[in-house]
Structure formats: C-alpha cells, structure tokens
Amino acid sequence: MMQELSLDALRQIAHGLALQFGTNCEVVVHSLADCDIEHSIVAIENGHVTGRKLGDGPSHVVLDALQHGDTVEDHLGYLTRTKDGKILKSSTMYLRDEAGHLRYILAINLDITGLLMFESSLKPLLSTAEAAEEKEPERIVQSVGELLDELIEQSTRLVGKPVALMTKEDKIRAIQFLNKNGAFLITKSGDKISKYYGISKYTLYSYIDAES
C-alpha cells in the first residue's frame, strides 16, 4: 500500500512539474520496486521530448541505481542529449523507502536546445575569454537495446581503438567497464557483448573476474 501511495504522489508531482515548466519539460518516474528494468517507466509527462512512453525501458541512471543502490546520489543540473540531437538540462533524484531501499527515480529533462542556440548567437558579443572545455552530454536512450549499444560504444571509446586492434588487456578493460556500469543486468547482454568482442561466453566471464 505504501508503494502504491508513493507512486500516486509521484504521478501527481510529475504532472504538476510538467504543467509548471511547459511542454519542453519531460518528467519521468522509473520504478525499481519489481526490478523489471526493461519496463521501468511507470509515469511520464511530455514524453515527446525524448520520444519515450509509459512502459519503456531504462536510461543510464536506472542501471547506475541498480549497480550502486546504497551509494548512488542525486545528480542535478547536468546535460544530456536525445537521439535526434536535442540538448536537455537534466536532474535525477533517487527516492528511497523508510528502510532506505531505492524504490523510484524521478527525472526531469528540460529541452534547452533553443536557448542554447540563442546563447550561441550572443556569445561572440559577450565573451571575454576562452570558454572552458565542455563535457559531452550523456545520451538518453529509448530502449534497453539502445542502452546496451551505447554502453558498448562507450567501452570502445574508453580503450581508444577498434576491436580488431584490441589486445586481451584492452578487452578486459572494456568488459570490466561494461560490468561496472550495469551492462550485464540487461537480458541476454552477454551474447551480444561476446559477439561484439569476438570472444566466447566462458572468456567473457573470465574477463569480468580478472584482476584489473
């Protein structure tokens, strides 16, 4: 009953935030209660911002929560990007029950693409020094398949060379990155990762357990 009431309250909050900030603001609630990560979205407002809908799967924040539930902290005011190139200002809040267990994730994604274009047109007039290097926005995905593909791409970028040129140590580093970031929580991910890196399932698990 407590979880049902909590979800009702979160739906009410999500609806209110979406009305307050307008149609460019997506508000999403992920449920971790049943660990059904392939259908974690239990409430969403203005889903057109990222192209997601009720019942869709997780983003990076869900895997992060499942991997590091006891230590994960709210992440506020960071940049993300959508598949079609929108830049969002995002905030993620991890909500726990009375026992301290993670139950829900409340995420707010405000489309600031238009504002950034306006800022860009003003920047040459206002800038007085070199801009600081900006961090690449994290991509928001629409399915667990896309999420796994994104994690695999990140593991390849981490190593800095194509799979064909990777040594055993390179592959161990990439696969341990995937393990750390929750890739193996996704159903049948081991098959896809093994095929991508050209190794057997047995080798894959030995790389996961190898000392870094």
Residues 6+ apart with CB under 8 A from 130: none
How much is the CA Rg of the chain, to the nearest whole Å?
Answer: 19
State residue 65's pLDDT score.
84
> Could you tell me the end-to-end alpha-carbon distance of the chain, in angstroms, rounded to an integer?
45
State residue 85's pLDDT score.
86
The number of beta carbons lying within 10 Å of the beta carbon of residue 61 is 22
Q: Which two tokens stand for residue 105?
A: 């994730």
Q: How far is residue 74 from each of residues 13, 44, 69, 211, measured CA to CA in Å?
A: 17, 19, 11, 30
Q: What is the pLDDT of residues 62-111, one digit of tens each?
A: 888 888 777 889 999 999 988 888 899 999 999 988 888 889 999 999 99
Q: What is the CATH number of domain 2-116?
A: 3.30.450.20
State residue 5's pLDDT score.
56
Q: What residue ranges do the domains of the chain occupy?
A: 2-116, 143-209
State residue 139's pLDDT score.
75
State residue 1's pLDDT score.
41
State residue 175's pLDDT score.
94
State residue 35's pLDDT score.
62
State residue 115's pLDDT score.
85
**CB of 104 closer than 8 Å to CB of 30:** yes
- What's the predicted TM-score (pTM) here? 0.69
Q: Which stretches of the chain drop beneath a pLDDT of 70? A: 1-5, 34-35, 119-136, 211-212
Residue 78 main-chain phi, psi, to 5 deg: -115, 165
